[in-house]
Amino acid sequence: MKLSVCLAALAAAAGATAKSCLSRRPAINPSPYEPRLPIPSPPKRHKVCVVETHGDGVTDDSPYILSAFHECNNGGHVLFPRDSTYLIGTAMDWTFLRHIDLDIQGRILFSNDTDYWQANSFRFVFQNVTTFFKLGGDDVWLYGGGTLDGNGQIWYDTYAANIYTLRPVLVGIDGLKNSVISDLVLRYSPQYYHFMANSSNVVFNNIDISGFSKSKNTAKNTDGWDTYRSSDVTIMNSVINNGDDCVSFKPNSTNILVQSLFCNGSHGISVGSLGQYPGEFDIVEDIFVSNISMHNASDGARIKVWPNAPSAMSGDLQGGGGSGRVRNVTYEDFTIDNVDYAIEITQCYGQKNITLCQQYPSPLTIEDIVFRRFSGKTSKQYQPLIAAFACSSSSVCGDIHATDINVVSPNGTHQAYCLNQDASALDVECTDLYKGFN
């Protein structure tokens, strides 16, 4: 592939011209809150590796990518140049990365070979999660303004024909620490856009997520972020247009800060689902969510827990009977626009029979939960209800507070379904009117 003037300058180490090819590390400005741990701030990398590409849109560029990563690991800057497209047709393990900048200015496109990816993508232990690649290591900066494209349409259609299709996550993270991912465009993920496991002190900033189906088969389970067995994760200053959770805190997510997001078309910012697997003890605690603009969604803020009996959301998603705890979770400063429930707590996830849910209450405890300063208008879906606070038993679910809830339904009501709740702690008009859960 012919080098541009910029790349030729890099090859010749031609001073200022070469440096102008590289993206500057993005400035990370947390607002309105600072993360618990300092944002990573490593020294500048000096060695530069330019990733080659066949450039034909057919030949797998994975060997070029791995070569550049190995060459520039431990102190280098890897460049995916602007106006270049890289086709990835091989599952790659990137968990060896250390002290490296990945500067993605071009486009990374994953192949549409669904048979290969189902057989070779990396499996996680949670639900049916697989991933095109595994990103891990220590002190990794990933940025550049470029695009990761999951080629999702073929997956949306394949899943519609077979719900047991294993759809890869666009960005699979396993064992990443002290790292920043910023200034990227993510498009057409087959399933979740991010799945983060076994990681700590990672910041996501200025991520642009979108990707809807162009056929009658909808793009399903396209969560923006799912955190799992991870701590001290910050997600902020991003725009998410998707069809499932904007952010979801899966089992053993702790010390998470989510702030300053625009979410459209989602299922809200969710704790869970939890308690899906018998014998597992799920923990989600010390979660702070602030300054969220939520539009055209099923939920604004949500906590979803399976009951203590087998239940099914769908053929490929069922569970119940697990234990654990949800503790010290705060949702504040939400703008609600055409959202079915501004707030939803349920310990009956997957179980629409409320009587049966209460007969088999969840052993997973929920406590010290705060919702404050919500404003806006819900959709017509559940009016006159604007929220649902449903505990399967008051003995395992309490200390829930909602203040300054200035949300109304389209007909002006301010009611919420309340089950096993202290109504005096909720700034809504509690009712036993039940209209279902998302």
Question: Kind and range of the H or E element at 225?
Answer: strand 225-228
Q: Which residues, including other chains, have CB under 8 Å from residue 370's CB and lie 6 or more apart?
A: 329, 330, 331, 332, 401, 402, 403
Written as one string, the DSSP assignment of 290-319 is EEEEEES-SEEEEEEE--SS-EEEETTEEE
Dist CA 409 CA 386 (whole Å)? 6
Dist CA 60 CA 69 (whole Å)? 16
Mean pLDDT for back-to-back runs of 10 residues, the chain (438 residues): 54 58 96 96 95 95 98 98 97 98 98 98 91 98 98 98 96 98 98 98 98 96 98 98 98 98 98 92 98 98 89 74 96 98 92 79 94 98 97 92 98 96 97 88
The residues that bridge with 248 in the sheet, in sequence order, are: 226, 270
From the CB of residue 265, how many other CB atoms can be counted at a distance below 10 Å? 18
Is there a cis peptide before residue 273, judged by omega within 30 degrees of 0?
Answer: yes
Instruction: Say which DSSP state 52 is in.
Output: P
Dist CA 203 CA 144 (whole Å)? 15
Question: Kind and range of the H or E element at 346?
Answer: strand 341-346
What is the per-residue pLDDT for 434? 87
Q: Is 267 an annotated catalytic residue?
A: yes
Architecture of domain 47-431: 3 Solenoid (2.160)
Question: Kind and range of the H or E element at 274?
Answer: strand 269-274
The residues that bridge with 287 in the sheet, in sequence order, are: 256, 329
What is the per-residue pLDDT for 307? 86
User: How many C-alpha atoms does 20 have within 13 Å on its Cβ side?
Assistant: 9
Strand pairing class (130-131; 122-123): antiparallel
Q: What angle do CA 388, 392, 396 make, to 5 degrees?
A: 110
Task: Give the residue extent of every domain in the chain.
Answer: 47-431
Closest CA to 319 of 360, 270, 286, 359: 360
pTM for this prediction: 0.95
Q: What angle do CA 355, 360, 362 make, to 5 degrees?
A: 115
What is the per-residue pLDDT for 263? 98
Q: What are phi and psi of 72, to 5 degrees?
A: -105, 5
Q: Are 298 and 339 in contact (CB under 8 A)?
A: yes
Q: Are 91 and 166 in contact (CB under 8 A)?
A: no
Start-end of H helices in 81-152: 114-120
pLDDT in tens, 225-283: 999 999 999 999 999 999 999 999 999 999 999 999 999 999 999 999 999 989 999 99
What is the per-residue pLDDT for 376? 98
Which listed residue (77, 99, 194, 267) is catalytic? 267
Tell the residue number behind the tokens 């590796």, with chain if given.
Answer: 49
From the CB of residue 408, how many other CB atoms can be counted at a distance below 10 Å? 19
What is the per-residue pLDDT for 6? 61
Q: What are phi and psi of 308, to 5 degrees?
A: -90, 45
Q: Which residues, including other chains, have CB under 8 Å from residue 83's CB and lie 6 or more apart?
A: 4, 106
Start-end of H helices in 293-388: 354-359
Query: Tokens at residue 353, please?
Result: 């029979």
- Give the type of residue at 173: I
Q: What is the largest CA-CA distance in the chain?
A: 73
Q: Are 75 and 50 in contact (CB under 8 A)?
A: no
Strand pairing class (98-104; 133-143): parallel
What is the per-residue pLDDT for 9? 59
Query: Tokens at residue 162, please?
Result: 């077979």
